[in-house]
Amino acid sequence: MATYVITEACIGVKDATCVDVCPAACIHTTPDAPQYYIDPEVCIACEQCFFVCPVDAIFLDADVPAHLQQYLQINADFFTENKQQATAVSAGQAQQMVDAVQRYAEGAGWAVAVAVVDGDGAPVLAKAMPGAGDETATLALNKAYTAANLQVATHQLGRGAQTPATAKPEAFGQSRVVQQGGGYPITEGALVIGAVGVAGSPSPQQDLQCCQAGLAALHGGGH
């Protein structure tokens, strides 16, 4: 499967614009690392990072210039060294995200349902605001389930994005796959440990904004 690779122009710059647009949450670094890195097992080759990189550090693996070929291994080695056993989304983290989503939706005048699931798509916490019906709650849960198992934001599926090699599509039938905005993976370091799903706002894009409010609360607004 094709992957994008971050090369030496990122060294010392570490601009996080690529992180912000990555739907697969596969771009990471550590405080002492000189650059960002793309996980080749999770990258879905969606091109978003390539288009926004301010220093032209990102290449498709097949297009990496000869003098930068070592960065294919450098990116892969970073994740070999830094990946740890995945942990689950805690009940406290789930509550923090649900509260943030509901505050955001309430401020916008929307009645939404929100679901947080673990890495296998099992519910950790699900709540529906007054006015959000059972159908909305089911959709939110399916969005989260899809994002957790395919390890990609659900709006990208509607664009025909490939899923990561680590995705688990065998975990469910097609009836639970949701190809509209409002499902987003939750990561810990380089690992997907769960997902959040939202339904009930006026549009899938606004459901996605609610998800982002939840993720921002969980991660303190940073990367």
Residues 83-98, buried b or exposed e (16+ Cβ, 10 A)?
A: eeeeebbeeebbebbb
Q: Say how many Å lie between the first and final Cα of the chain, rounded.
A: 26
Residue 116 · residue 124 · CB < 8 Å: yes
Rounded to an integer, what distance in angstroms lies between the CA atom of residue 36 and that of residue 166? 20
Question: What pLDDT shows up at residue 221?
Answer: 46
Helices (H) and strands (E) in the chain, counts: 7, 8
> Taking the mean position of all CA atoms in its chain, how far away is CA 102?
20
| pLDDT tens per residue, range 36-90 | 999 998 898 989 999 999 999 999 999 999 999 999 999 999 988 877 655 688 8
Residue-wise burial string across 162-195, b where 16 or more C-beta atoms lie within 10 A, e elsewhere: bbbeebbeeebeeeebbbbbbbbbbbbebbbbbb
Helix (H) / strand (E) containing 118: strand 113-118
Confidence of residue 178 (pLDDT cuts 50, 70, 90): confident
**Rounded distance between C-alpha atoms, residue 211 and residue 217, angstroms:** 10
pTM score of the predicted model: 0.64
Higher-pLDDT residue of 87 and 114 is 114
* pLDDT confidence of residue 220: 67
How much is the pLDDT for 222? 39
Q: Which domains does the chain have, with CATH numbers?
A: 4-82 (3.30.70.20), 91-219 (3.30.450.150)
pLDDT, the chain, mean:
88
Burial class (CB in 10 A: 0-12, 13-18, 19+), 143: buried
Enumerate residues 6+ apart whose C-beta is below 8 A from 16. 36, 223
